[in-house]
Chains A and B, each alone.
Chain A
Amino acid sequence: MSIDRSQVDHAADLARLELSDDERERLRGELGQILQAFEALNTLDTKHIPPTAQVIPLGNVERDDRVADSLPLDAVLHNAPRVEDGQIRVPPVLDES
Chain B
Amino acid sequence: MPDQLHRLTLHAASDGLRSGQFSSVELTQSLLDRIQAVDGRIGAYLTVTPDIALEQASAADQRLAAGDNCPLLGLPIALKDVLTTAGVETTCASRILQGFIPPYDATAVTRLKRAGAVTLGKTNMDEFAMGSSNEHSAYKPVRNPWDLDKVPGGSSGGSAAAVAADECLAALGSDTGGSVRQPAALCGCVGLKPTYGRISRFGLIAFASSLDQIGVLTKDVTDAALLLGALAGHDPRDSTSAEEPVPDYAGELNRDIGGLRIGVAPEYFGEGLDPQVGDSVRAAINDLRDLGATEREVSLPHTEYALPTYYVIAPSEASANLARYNGVKYGLSDPQATDVDEMMARIRGRGFGSEVKRRIMIGTFALSSGYYDAYYVRAQKVRTLIKSDFETAFRDVDVIAAPVVPAPAFDLGAKLDDPVAMYQSDIMTLPASLAGLPCLSIPCGFVDGLPVGLQLIAPPFAESRLLQTARAYERDRGPLPTPTKAIDSQ
Interface residues of B in 311-337 (CB under 8 A from A): 311-312, 319, 323, 326-331, 333-335, 337
B363 → chain A, closest Cβ, in Å? 8
Cβ contact within 8 Å between A49 and B381: yes
Cβ contact within 8 Å between B348 and A17: yes
Chain A CB within 8 A of B11 CB: no
Contacts of A79 in B (CB 8 A): 99-101, 103, 329-331
Cβ contact within 8 Å between B340 and A92: yes
Cβ contact within 8 Å between B340 and A17: no
Chain A CB within 8 A of B484 CB: no
Given A41-B312, A51-B384, residue A56 in contact with residue B364 (CB < 8 A) = no
Cβ contact within 8 Å between A41 and B335: no
Count residues of A near B (Cβ-Cβ below 8 Å): 52
Cβ contact within 8 Å between B348 and A16: yes
Cβ contact within 8 Å between A34 and B380: no
Given A46-B378, A58-B240, A81-B333, residue A16 in contact with residue B327 (CB < 8 A) = no
Chain A CB within 8 A of B119 CB: no
For residue A91, which residue of chain B has the nearest CB? B340
Cβ contact within 8 Å between A40 and B304: yes
Chain A CB within 8 A of B339 CB: yes
Given A27-B358, A53-B210, residue A38 in contact with residue B368 (CB < 8 A) = no
B residues sitting closer than 8 Å to A (CB atoms) are 99-101, 103-104, 196-197, 210, 236, 239-240, 242, 302, 304-305, 307-309, 311-312, 319, 323, 326-331, 333-335, 337-341, 343-346, 348-350, 352, 354, 357-358, 360-362, 364-365, 368, 375, 377-385, 387, 419-420, 423, 434-436, 460
Complex Cα–Cα for A58 and B420 (A) = 34
For residue B307, which residue of chain A has the nearest CB? A37
Cβ contact within 8 Å between B240 and A91: no
Complex Cα–Cα for A40 and B304 (A) = 9
B100, B350, B352, B419, most chain A CB atoms within 10 A: B419
B302 → chain A, closest Cβ, in Å? 8
- Mostly, the A contact residues are loop
Listed by A's residue number, 15 A-B pairs whose Cβ atoms lie within 8 Å are A11-B364, A15-B360, A16-B341, A18-B345, A18-B350, A31-B358, A38-B308, A46-B385, A51-B381, A55-B196, A79-B329, A81-B327, A88-B328, A91-B343, A92-B340
For residue B100, which residue of chain A has the nearest CB? A79
Cβ contact within 8 Å between B338 and A91: yes
For residue A93, which residue of chain B has the nearest CB? B340
- Mostly, the B contact residues are helix
Given A17-B352, A79-B100, residue A55 in contact with residue B435 (CB < 8 A) = yes
Contacts of B380 in A (CB 8 A): 51-53
B136 → chain A, closest Cβ, in Å? 14
Partner of A78, one of B101, B197, B338: B101
For residue A10, which residue of chain B has the nearest CB? B368
Chain B CB within 8 A of A4 CB: no
Given A14-B368, A71-B104, residue A37 in contact with residue B308 (CB < 8 A) = yes
A42 → chain B, closest Cβ, in Å? 7
Cβ contact within 8 Å between A41 and B309: yes
Complex Cα–Cα for A52 and B306 (A) = 13
Complex Cα–Cα for A34 and B196 (A) = 27
Cβ contact within 8 Å between B362 and A34: yes
Contacts of B362 in A (CB 8 A): 31, 34
Complex Cα–Cα for A63 and B323 (A) = 27
Interface residues of A in 25-51 (CB under 8 A from B): 27, 30-31, 33-35, 37-42, 44, 46, 49-51
Contacts of A55 in B (CB 8 A): 196, 210, 387, 434-436
Contacts of A88 in B (CB 8 A): 328-329
Cβ contact within 8 Å between A19 and B210: no
Cβ contact within 8 Å between A34 and B384: no
Given A51-B377, A53-B210, A91-B343, residue A12 in contact with residue B361 (CB < 8 A) = yes
Complex Cα–Cα for A10 and B100 (A) = 31
For residue A8, which residue of chain B has the nearest CB? B361
Chain B CB within 8 A of A75 CB: yes
B97 → chain A, closest Cβ, in Å? 9
Complex Cα–Cα for A50 and B377 (A) = 9
Chain B CB within 8 A of A76 CB: yes
Complex Cα–Cα for A96 and B165 (A) = 59
For residue B346, which residue of chain A has the nearest CB? A18
Complex Cα–Cα for A79 and B91 (A) = 12
B198 → chain A, closest Cβ, in Å? 10
Contacts of B365 in A (CB 8 A): 7, 11, 31, 35
Chain B CB within 8 A of A97 CB: no
Q: What 4 new A-B contacts, CB under 8 Å, besides A18-B349, A53-B380, A92-B338? A: A10-B368, A31-B362, A37-B423, A51-B377
Which 7 pairs of residues, A with B, have the shortest CB-CB distance?
A: A18-B349, A55-B436, A81-B333, A51-B380, A79-B330, A61-B239, A75-B103
Complex Cα–Cα for A8 and B350 (A) = 18
